[in-house]
Amino acid sequence: MECSSLIVLDSNALIKVWLTELRDVHTKSEQFRTILGRLTYPLVYAALSDLKVKSTQVSTPLEETVGYVFTEEVAVATILRAALGMVAPIQEILPEAKIFHIDMYRDEETLQPVWGRSKIPMECENFVWLVPDPMLATGGSAIATISRLKERGAKRIVYLGVIAAPEGIKALSDTHPDVRIVVATVDRKLSDGQSKYPKGYILPGLGDAGDRQFGT
C-alpha cells in the first residue's frame, strides 16, 4: 500500500520465518514471547537508523580511531499490555532509554481506546519517541498515544509494530503523517464482525497478542 512514512521488513527471510512461527496457533506463550522479542530487534534498527550521533575518539587495542556516540535520547511509550514483550529487546539495544507505561485498552464494542493511568511526562520534546505495539489494527490506541505525546511537545515519533492492517496504517498516517510507521508485515484487512471472527481483528493476524504472550 502507498504510504510515504511506512517501512515494511517482511522481505527478509528471517522475518518471514519468525512471523510464521508467531502466527501459528500451536505456538506456546513462552515461545511466542521469544519470537516477539526477536522481531523487535530489526524493527528498532529500522526505526532509529537516523538517530543523531557525533564523532569521538576511541582507543582500540592497536590504535586510536574515530567512533560515534548518540546525541539524542530515546524514550518509549509502552502501551499495556501487548507491548510489554517488546520492551526488553529495546532496552538491550538502548540501555539508557526511558520507559514509560500507558494503561490503555480497546473497547470491544466501539473499538475506541479507553485510557487508564499513564506515566507520560508533562514535557516530551527532548526525546525521540518509540511507540511499540505488536498489532496495528484500527490504529486507535497508537493514534491516542501519539496525540498525547504531541500535546506535551514530542516532535519525533516512530511507531513499531509486528503486524498491521491497511485500515490501521491509513488511520495512523492520515492523523499523524509525520510519524514513521515500521512494521514487520501488512496483512489483508480487519474483520468486520459479520463472520465467525470478532470485529476489528487483523486477518489473518495472530489473534490477541496480549493473550498469546501471557497465556490468558
Per-residue pLDDT tens over the stretch 89-116 = 999 999 999 999 988 766 666 667 676 6
Q: For Cα atoms 209, 174, 178, give the angle at the middle one, nearest 5 degrees.
A: 90
Task: Compute the mean pLDDT over every residue in the chain, rounded to the nearest whole number.
Answer: 92
Phi-psi region of 164 (alpha: psi -120 to 50; beta: other; left: phi over 0): beta
Helix axis angle for 166-175 and 140-151, nearest 10°, is: 20
CA gyration radius, the chain = 18
Indicate if the pLDDT at residue 195 is higher than 90: no
CA 191 to chain centre: 21
Q: Which domains are seen in the chain, by residue range? A: 6-214 (3.40.50.2020)
Q: Which of 32, 152, 14 is nearest to 85 (CA)?
A: 32
Q: CB–CB of 183/162 below 8 Å?
A: yes
**Which triple of cell numbers denotes residue 185?**
508485515
